[in-house]
Structures are given as C-alpha cells and as structure tokens.
Amino acid sequence: MTKVTHVLFDMDGLLLDTERVYTEVTAKIVSKYGKTYDWTLKAQMMGLKERDAAELLVKTLEIPMTVDEYIVARRLGHAEMFPSCRPLPGVVRFVEHLHRHGIPMAVATSSHRDAFVLKTSENQELFKHFNHILCGDDVIPSTGKPPRGKPSPDLFIAAAETINGDLSNPQSCLVFEDAPSGVQAALNAGMQVVWVPDVNLAQDPALVSSASEVMLTLEHFKPEKFGLPPFDN
C-alpha cells in the first residue's frame, strides 16, 4: 500500500450529515405526486452534479415538474435545513488530527458553492482546517471550465493538484467517499479510496473489492495503515 501524503474528502454524507436533508426534502416534494423516493434511486443520484441528479429523478419518477421547477423547490427546502447539518461521527477527530500533523487536505464536492456556504455556515471550526475547497461549479484554472460530475475524476484530480502539485504518483492521494459514483471517480483518478457508505446503501461487490477499505464510520479508520500518523490516543 502506497504511503499517503495528502487527503481528499467528499462532503455530503461523508463530512456532514447532509444526506438526511437531501432525502427529507426530495421525499417531501415527490410525495405530493404520490411518488416514493427510495434508496435505489437515491444511490444513483449520489455524487452527481445538481442538474444531472434532478434530470434523473424527474425522468425516473415521471413527476409533473420540469427539471428547473424541481431544482427551485429543492433549493428552497435545502436553504431552510442545511444550516442544521453537523459533522458525522469520527470526522472532527480525524480532520483535526491530520491538521495537527500538517497533512495537506482538500474538500472536493459536487455541491455548488452557494450550497456549500449554507451547509458549512455553522461548521466553520471544521472547515477552516482544509487547505482548499473545490465545488462542483468552480472553474478549474487548467481548463477554464467547471469539473465534470462524478464518476469523472475531474474534481479529485483538480483538488489534488491544488494542494500537492505533483500527481506523478496518484496513489499517494487518499480519497474518502460515501457515494458509489465518488468511489469510482477516485478509482478513475488512480487514487486510493476509503468508502464510507450509508448503512442503507446497497454495496456493489465489485466496488467493495476495488476500494482500499470499506467502513460505516470514520471512527473505525486507522491512519497508520496508510502511512499517516497514528492517533495520539
């Protein structure tokens, strides 16, 4: 296993409990039309950029809304609930540990910048530790365009270049993800990846075997297995 020198984190459902909000808001919207938002569809939407996810939902559930109408309704619900999101178990301890030991870290999220600001508004103590934040609608300097959505490796490659510069050995970068599309994006970037799926998410055996590790909470992570400094206690 290659020694890790820098670390990338997804945000939704990995650092913060935002997946609860996504589920509740979307379930409420589609229930008005007698539709059910289940984990089969949610798993397909996780990690996608906002519009791609909206198009998939509207088409799959055949709800009588345009994609734009659904996005507007969704954003209103999110604006009300996102500030209540908090770090998931093990996150604060791990991020603060990496920060103390000078390990470069970045957040690479498909969320748009305005949504990121809402989600992190009450979590500044956590996010101040990151060297860089890359959002789904940010422009990548090397291309002049926003990154393609996961499973494209764009987000992770751009974030790694920002905090590391040298990607000659992508295996030295460790990605933490909760979404299947995000795990695949990390693999497509040639990086090591730890998958932290929601307990309700069906796990693809092929993806499980490709990930460096699979665990249900970051509380179980052992940094020394990847050449990172062990926890102090």
Q: Which domains are delineated in the chain?
A: 6-17+85-226 (3.40.50.1000), 18-83 (1.10.150.240)
Per-residue pLDDT at 117 exceeds 80: yes
pLDDT in tens, 194-224: 999 998 888 999 999 999 999 999 999 999 9
Report, as an integer, the average pLDDT of 64-82.
95
Give the total residue count for the chain.
233
pLDDT in tens, 123-168: 999 999 999 999 999 999 888 999 998 999 999 999 999 998 778 8
Q: Which residues are catalytic, by number?
A: 10, 12
Q: What's the pLDDT at 200?
A: 86
Report, as an integer, the average pLDDT of 21-41.
95
Q: What's the pLDDT at 87?
A: 97
Report, as an integer, the average pLDDT of 93-111.
97
The three-point CA angle 13-207-158 to 5° equals: 60
pLDDT band at 232 (very low <50, low <70, confident <90, very high): confident
Q: What is d(CA 58, CA 61) in angstroms, rounded to the nearest whole number?
A: 6
Residue type, 227: G
Residue type, 205: P
Per-residue pLDDT at 1 exceeds 90: no
Q: What's the pLDDT at 49?
A: 83
Q: What's the pLDDT at 116?
A: 95
By C-alpha distance, which of 187, 178, 138 is closest to 159? Answer: 138
State the pTM of this model: 0.90
Per-residue pLDDT at 233 exceeds 80: no
Q: What's the pLDDT at 166?
A: 76
Work out the number of other CB atoms within 10 angstroms of the CB of residue 5.
18
Local structure of 8: helix, strand or coil? strand
Q: What is d(CA 25, CA 205) in angstroms, rounded to the nearest whole number?
A: 30
